[in-house]
Structure 1
Amino acid sequence: MTMNEKKPYLVDAVIGNSSLLATLGRTGKMYRLWWPHIDTPQHMDAMRVGIHAAEGAPVEWFDEAGNGWSHEIGYVQGSNVLAIKAASQQAELTINSRHFAVPGKDLLVREYALSNSGNESKQLSFVLHSSFLISENSLYNTTMFHAEADALIHFRHQYFFAVSSAIVCTKFQSGISWENVQQGELNGNMIDMQPTGAMSWQLTIAPGETVVLPIYIAAAHNEQDAVQLLAEARQKTSGQWADETNSYWQSYVAQAVPCPVDDARIKELYERSILTFKLMSDEKTGTIIAAPEFDETFSRCGGYSFCWGRDAAFITTALDKVGLTDLTDAFYDWTLRAQSPDGSWQQRHYHDGQLAPSWGLQIDEGSSILWGMWQHYLVKQDRGFASRVWPSVLKGAQFLASFIDEETGLPKPSIDLWEEREASHTYSSAAVYGGLKAAAGFAELAGEYELAEQWSEQADRVKAAIEQSCFNEELQCFYRGINLTVSSDKYNEGISAGKQGTVLDLDKGYKKYVLKHDPIVDISLLGISVPFNAVDATDARMRSTADVVEKLLTVPNVGGIKRYEDDIYIGGNPWILTTLWLAHYRFATGDVEAGRNYIQWVLEHRTETGLLPEQIDKHTGETAWVVPLTWSHAMFILAVFMLAEAN
């Protein structure tokens, strides 16, 4: 009974209010809707809108690409209100729509202004078909028509979604398939144990006239509250709600630190990044998600609608730069709840701090959180914050200290930041250095001077081990890591090629095959100096490492920087954040022109709506994967401030 269409991986826009979050395509088609948290649960199967011009004719779905309809999409300047223009010469109609979540309310507004560009009056029905798979579950959904509220209500368990307009509908039907709604005939069925429903409104539009039809989606935990919120929505026009929402977002941007660089395109993306940060931050828990989910079945990746401590450390540093320190405070309060009993922070978490699907410990996650806490303290100088996080810092630093391998002086093997391999990774080691130095700073504030000295000395030993064991003299570049776990075939291949390695005996007769070095050049090697400063950016070894990174990872023709030499994820494309990482390094060493050029490349590869994706297709230069990626926006903000400081 659902629309049974595969949702695309790539979306064009995101709207929300830090409680509601929705993603849409450039035609206005809504793909997903999260509430009351921005990561889970997700409730939308699909919602479609169309025009039914004559009995016996099919519904013309104007939120569909093609079919004679053209579309333009963009955000209102300085706002998270999305505007879409759909036009058809054949239908002689232009439909301007606005889509947004009302700040502070569990209310989504979709306003449609239909303009008659023809010479004759038009009588038509506006048709809405909605399908809710609440909590992404096809079982136990019900759709009913609430006559008093003149609304369809989709519900399952404690989630209720009331859908209606300010205009009384002409027809309705609870429980109608996508196939059956095509003719626009609705039979008035009041209730059905199906996830689908439809409504239609009869409209008359004179030549040159514009008729506005708002659609409201009210979310609540029971029927009464959903109906009440719908009634509240009708107390104002959709135009008033839009004006208030635009004012809210424009005020939000105005309260942030102004863009420090006098460049119109940089300022535009700077402000869009500020607006995106707020949407990616859950107001109830403080968590920050990597991106709105788009691959919930893990068909091509492991999902993105989770909180990674590493991503968030970069993001909160950017938040502090733009003055959104309240979001940073909320996030680090959240980390106190997400910490494991042993003091570690695992790979990724849900909004409530519970462990999300995982590939195992990444030691850089917790290290980055400690480092990020300290960066936040350096900005705010808030002793209350330092006291609040100190118990967590203590446990976190003790875990890091216990994770150091006495033989190598580096952290023991764990999963790398790209979540693909196990080794003592050089980047992760630098993160541990940064985490321990941060913990030492907090220990001094707490009057724990012996601990401060102990952690600082341990950090210095990690630094020394990086310098001693992790540099590839032959390539003049840091190794990606040492003691790399590989398959038996890769091990034998490596040994045959003259590489060093060992076979370890594990419990129950299993064996682990380990190669001494991982020589693959990886952009994360820049993290040794930027941001963790385990090795100074001006050190000759770092300079040569950056040059090797640039030489081997620059993508021909399209430009930009890919993650590492033999990357195959989604085809091995250049990433926004990796390109900006090299910009960071160039700025840190005074090469302003090179850093600025990378920023310009990023500006040229924004999406149509001005968002930053994760990847750019290496052949076409078009958006390839994940929109928007919060980490991409954070790296842009950090690059902008480094540019400003360098000028």
Structure 2
Amino acid sequence: MYHNREHDYLCASTELSAITPEQSAQFGEVLAETSRSPRHSSETDDYEGSRLTGGVSFRAAVEDGKTTVVTRLADIEDEPRSDSLAALADLTRRHGSPADVRAAAHETFPHVDTPDELVNTDLRVLRLLSAPTGARIAGPEFDPYYQYSGGYGYTWFRDDAEIARFLLKADGELGLGLADTHRKSAAFYLATQLDDGRWPHRVWPMNGRLAPGWANGHVEGNETHYQADQTASALVFLAAYLSAYHDAIPEPTRTEIRNALARGVGGLDRSLATDGLPLACENAWENMDGRFIHTAASFLHAYSVIATAPCHPTVRNHAAERTRRIDAALDTMWLPDKGIYARRSVDGELDGRADSTTFSLIDAHLVYERIADVDDDRLRRLERHLDTTFDRLWKETDDIRGLARFEADTWRQQTQDGGKVWTVSTGWGAYTAERAIELFPDTDEPFDATAWSDRLFAEIDLSGSLCLPSGYLPEQFFDTGSPDSATPLGWSHGIRLATFAARHARNA
């Protein structure tokens, strides 16, 4: 099978036969009332039809109850065809039993000495989604005809940087030995930062080149079609990495990161209005525009972590000043009658629907506490906000339990009433409840962060209603318990790993 730079080679330990290209279904066939068997081509078909296909089917003989089938994806610029074929033959000879295959899997994805198999599952998933550069795709493609999505096989800087940040945190608490993983992430963000200090919508993970997207307005001259929180997420990781690994990072790289943070602060400034809130842009769910509380929280987080990182003093001081401006502006988004922070402001009107992206307020305030006191009024509001948001997003059926991503979500709900449960939102809620234990002092308020952490984490745990037998977390679930969309979703696994690490640290 031939690709841009890669060839996919196939071999078996027994005789291969009936090797035929398998033609992809046409869109009309997918929508037809009756199903069909795969259409196979042969050498007697037209030349194009027998070669320009999406797959190949084959038969392999079974001898003594077994056969070993091996595929190998090779970069043709780095490995000649003869070397690939020789390596393929060697792998086929060496892995002649199930035990040999299991051993090979453990060599490729080694287990870490951790208290729980969940950690190994999440690390394995994130490796599977990673390119050699260290950048990760969001998830495997589930929508090859692009009818519902713009494709998942790209690197979003929000998703990737959030995963990188969660890995950094989990590594610090569990000692996972991921220094090289963090180094690759930092190098990728340094290589892909734009001249104005920001990052594009999404890129190809294997080389960082601009990929198809719909939120490159800041590149094209339209700031609204831009997801400003992506830049903030990349800066949070770079600043946190610089702080955590400062002495181990070579000085030239430290200088690169400091300069990137300085440019990044300038990029955030371009998107910050004089009233202290980010300008109108796209939201994290990529389905609407406005001035979002999540974007403001991501800016507060980024400015705060940069203000406490070992970078240029002028940059730190400037970032600290920006945090205070955002902190004051958050009060304008509070809806006292609903007990919640508005998810967005559009033309001065506040949208009071509960939204799981607002969980980002908690992490942001934990870092902001290093710069300035978070007063009691703000803490009470945040506590009430979480309590209200959890209650309003919680959904339970006979088959699944968890959080919807936001109220009145209609995306791909098909015939069911109401939106689906999302593993990202449920995991984000569990992580935020765990972090809220640190932020909120003991009070007589009814909100119980520990109980919510336990309740939500149970659903994404290996035995939870939102976890498949494989340990994978799909992006979403229908009310019937059927998974939907990309599986496994990298962001969900990053969140689960960080939540597990935080819970383990608390209970140690």
Note whether the superposition's TM-score is higher than 0.5: yes
Name 2:219's counterpart in structure 1.
none
Rate the CA distance shift 1:172–1:568 in 2: closer, same or farther, 3 A.
closer
Rate the CA distance shift 1:529–1:217 in 2: closer, same or farther, 3 A.
closer
Q: Say if 2:111 and 2:120, in contact at 8 Å, map to a contact too.
A: no
Name 2:326's counterpart in structure 1.
462
Aligned with 1:388 (options 256, 280, 287): 256
Q: Say if 1:319 and 1:325, in contact at 8 Å, map to a contact too.
A: no
Aligned with 1:368 (options 206, 221, 233): 233
Name 1:635's counterpart in structure 2.
495
Aligned with 1:225 (options 55, 62, 80): 80
Deviation at 1:245, TM superposition (A): 6.3
Rate the CA distance shift 1:345–1:257 in 2: closer, same or farther, 3 A.
farther
Name 2:297's counterpart in structure 1.
430
Q: Secondary structure at the match of 2:298?
A: helix
Q: Secondary structure at the match of 2:84?
A: helix
Counterparts of 2:129 and 2:62, CA distance in 1: 40
Residue by residue over 1:142-191, the C-alpha shift from the partner in whole angstroms, topping out at 9 and shown as x without a partner, is: xxxxxxxxxxxxxxx76544433344556667x78799xx9xx9998899
Residue by residue over 1:354-378, the C-alpha shift from the partner in whole angstroms, topping out at 9 and shown as x without a partner, is: 2221233111101111111222233
Counterparts of 2:108 and 2:86, CA distance in 1: 27
Which residue identity is paired with 1:548?
Answer: T
Counting only pairs closer than 5 Å after superposition, residues 601-616 of structure 1 correspond to structure 2 as 601-603=459-461, 604=464, 605-616=466-477
Name 2:119's counterpart in structure 1.
270
Rate the CA distance shift 1:241–1:392 in 2: closer, same or farther, 3 A.
farther
Q: What 5-or-longer segments of structure 1 have no aligned partner?
A: 1-131, 136-156, 260-266, 485-513
Deviation at 1:317, TM superposition (A): 2.3
Q: Secondary structure at the match of 2:395?
A: coil
Which residue identity is paired with 2:405?
Answer: R
Q: Secondary structure at the match of 1:235?
A: helix
Counting only pairs closer than 5 Å after superposition, residues 17-416 of structure 1 correspond to structure 2 as 132=1, 134-135=2-3, 159-169=6-16, 192-193=47-48, 194-195=50-51, 203=61, 209-217=64-72, 219-221=74-76, 225-236=80-91, 237=93, 239=95, 246-247=102-103, 249-250=105-106, 256=112, 258-259=114-115, 267-283=116-132, 285-320=133-168, 321-322=170-171, 323=176, 324-351=178-205, 352-356=207-211, 357-359=213-215, 360-381=225-246, 382-384=248-250, 385-406=253-274, 408-416=275-283
Q: Say if 1:162 and 1:227, in contact at 8 Å, map to a contact too.
A: no
Counterparts of 2:350 and 2:245, CA distance in 1: 41
Q: Say if 1:574 and 1:616, in contact at 8 Å, map to a contact too.
A: yes
Give me the TM-score of the superposition, normalised by structure 1: 0.62
Q: What 5-or-longer segments of structure 2 have no aligned partner?
A: 26-36, 216-224, 414-418, 438-448
Name 1:553's counterpart in structure 2.
393
Counterparts of 1:223 and 1:311, CA distance in 2: 29
Which residue identity is paired with 2:458?
Answer: Q
Rate the CA distance shift 1:314–1:216 in 2: closer, same or farther, 3 A.
closer
Rate the CA distance shift 1:159–1:469 in 2: closer, same or farther, 3 A.
same
Counterparts of 1:178 and 1:362, CA distance in 2: 34
Q: Say if 2:9 and 2:88, in contact at 8 Å, map to a contact too.
A: no
Name 1:525's counterpart in structure 2.
358
Deviation at 1:325, TM superposition (A): 2.8
Name 1:583's counterpart in structure 2.
430
Q: Say if 1:348 and 1:358, in contact at 8 Å, map to a contact too.
A: no
1:476 is aligned to 2:339 = yes
Q: Secondary structure at the match of 1:210?
A: coil
Counterparts of 1:188 and 1:450, CA distance in 2: 69
Q: Secondary structure at the match of 2:285?
A: coil
Which residue identity is paired with 1:335?
Answer: Y
Q: Which has the higher helix share?
A: 2
Q: Which has the higher strand share?
A: 1
Counterparts of 2:43 and 2:485, CA distance in 1: 42
Deviation at 1:314, TM superposition (A): 2.1
Report percent identity of matched pairs.
Answer: 18
Rate the CA distance shift 1:573–1:452 in 2: closer, same or farther, 3 A.
same
Which residue identity is paired with 1:232?
Answer: A
Rate the CA distance shift 1:389–1:585 in 2: closer, same or farther, 3 A.
same
Counterparts of 1:224 and 1:277, CA distance in 2: 25
Name 1:44's counterpart in structure 2.
none
Counterparts of 1:392 and 1:318, CA distance in 2: 21
Residue by residue over 1:449-475, the C-alpha shift from the partner in whole angstroms, topping out at 9 and shown as x without a partner, is: 223212211122111111x21111111
Q: Say if 1:521 and 1:565, in contact at 8 Å, map to a contact too.
A: yes
Residue by residue over 1:501-525, the C-alpha shift from the partner in whole angstroms, topping out at 9 and shown as x without a partner, is: xxxxxxxxxxxxx342222211111
Q: Which has the higher contact order (CA 8 A, sep 6+)?
A: 2
Counterparts of 2:22 and 2:460, CA distance in 1: 45
Which residue identity is paired with 2:184?
Answer: A
Q: Secondary structure at the match of 1:370?
A: helix
Please say which of residues 244-253 and 588-597 is displaced more in the overlay: 244-253
Counterparts of 1:570 and 1:480, CA distance in 2: 22
Name 2:221's counterpart in structure 1.
none
Counterparts of 2:120 and 2:261, CA distance in 1: 33
Q: Say if 2:333 and 2:342, in contact at 8 Å, map to a contact too.
A: yes
- Higher Cα radius of gyration: 1
Rate the CA distance shift 1:271–1:223 in 2: closer, same or farther, 3 A.
closer
Counterparts of 1:589 and 1:353, CA distance in 2: 35
Name 1:13's counterpart in structure 2.
none
Counterparts of 1:223 and 1:637, CA distance in 2: 34
Which residue identity is paired with 1:340?
Answer: L
Deviation at 1:526, TM superposition (A): 1.6
Q: Say if 1:436 and 1:456, in contact at 8 Å, map to a contact too.
A: yes
Which residue identity is paired with 2:162?
Answer: F
Counterparts of 1:200 and 1:311, CA distance in 2: 40
Rate the CA distance shift 1:271–1:415 in 2: closer, same or farther, 3 A.
same
**Number of matched residues?**
443
Give me the TM-score of the superposition, normalised by structure 2: 0.78
Deviation at 1:345, TM superposition (A): 1.1
Measured on the aligned residues, the alpha-carbon RMSD in Å equals 3.4
Counterparts of 1:177 and 1:431, CA distance in 2: 45
Deviation at 1:216, TM superposition (A): 4.1
Q: Say if 2:459 and 2:467, in contact at 8 Å, map to a contact too.
A: no
Deviation at 1:646, TM superposition (A): 2.5
Rate the CA distance shift 1:186–1:343 in 2: closer, same or farther, 3 A.
closer
